[in-house]
Structure 1
Amino acid sequence: PGAIVLLDGVAGRERQPLLAWQRYGQGSVYMFGTASTQRWQMSLPPEDQRHETFWRQLLHALADATPQRVSLRAERGVYEDDSRIALEADLRQADYQPLTQAEVEVLVSPEQGAAYTQRLEPSGNGDGRYVGVVDAQQPGLYRIDLRARSGKTEQGTATTFVRREDGVIEHFAREQHRSVLERIAKMTGGRYWRLDELGGLTAAIPYTKAGIVERQMLDLWNIPIVFLILLALKLGEWALRLKWGRL
């Protein structure tokens, strides 16, 4: 399950998988479902190099799929209005078993300002992963170089790049940044609402004091139009009395 058929072999009306590929652990597995390719080689003219090219490309694909023993990646490539860069390193021994006893340090080089170092700590799962959070206050491009060693033995290095941008989250970030929304709500006296809580939103809106909303109750006679109506009624009464001679 999970294998991808790359080539089919046709025998009469039947088609059978001839070459299949599947990810296995840190590498790849290719299944070539035939005893040999000698008959294919012998059926080709001497100047036809398809047989040799096939095996060269297959061996290149096997070797190229091998990952680095030391790798470093950030949670995402661009951090918009977020100064906490989450890093994760994956360390493997020579046999690609997890390397759990290592000292991992990263050198953070911002586009502006001085570089600084920070340690990454084991994830605690014994899987060779080391994690940490880098504080990147200034916007710009950050180069992060990792160096890992076990005792006095250098295990390898890795490099990744992260861009920090400010003032763009409102216009360009399509995903929801819950931490930012909760921080804005807290600073303005509001509240962050989840989708399953929206049923109570309408009842809470008239009584909220967040932002610039202010509830103010005024007496009826504070409205000038009321006095104008009363004055108009009184003038109308005087006009009728004058007309009927009953002043």
Structure 2
Amino acid sequence: MPSASPTVLGALDPTSDRAVFRQIADQLREAIDKGRFKEGDKLPSEAELVEHYGVSRMTVRNSLSVLQGEGLVVSEHGKGVFVRPRPPVRRLASDRFARRHRQQGKSAFTVEAEAAGSRPEVDSLEVKEERPTQEISTRLGGPRRVLARRRRYLLDGRPVEFAVSYLPLDLASETPIAEPNPGPGGIYARLEENGHRLDHFDEEVCARMPSPQEAKTLRLAAGVPVIHLIRTAYDTEGRAVEVCDTVMAADAYVLAYQLPAT
């Protein structure tokens, strides 16, 4: 793929007190933000930027490092530096767990992927009984053992989130929930079939930088944060029937809400 032309970039301001490498990073960032360099485009090569700005190769590399640290570009060895694709998934928090989706045999992730025109996948699936942390146990009402379902979600082959669902053993063991594939509609459909009609979900959301393991699992570029979400599902009797601990690539999601005004 040929490099995008550096002609869309401006000139340096010799009177500015801003470091030269940061001026170059500012111009590249602006070109990306305004769509002059689109997602997947190859940026001008180091040699082209050196010639355009009349600076050293090290100055150009420092500029590109700034953009990599912000998660705007990704470097591919031997190929160049590319504008990082950021296909957003619109996560409709007020609709994603609607019962009609489960009745259609679809999980929330499948619904969102289809709306985004993407191909959903689940891998790295692990289902096992284990001792929960104190926090998870407290949220579930104090069980000493739970069924944990770990999985990673991908869109068009790209990892975008991973999650762990924790369920009390009396609700999950010896049911399809303990199987790798719990069936159409996922674990919430199975819970409702077993008499635990869902009433509401409580979610806590925060943004932070990923741990090294999280960055590896989600294949995150440097500088890309994650969204950390903990959800507790309650049935109509007020019992917590599941806690889901989810980590999402922040550049892959738009969190959308509809809130009543009354």
Q: What TM-score comes out, normalization by structure 2 length?
A: 0.27
Between Structure 1 and Structure 2, whose CA radius of gyration is higher? 1
The structure with higher relative contact order (CA 8 Å, sep 6+) is 2
Whichever structure has more strand as a proportion of its residues is 1
Q: What TM-score comes out, normalization by structure 1 length?
A: 0.28
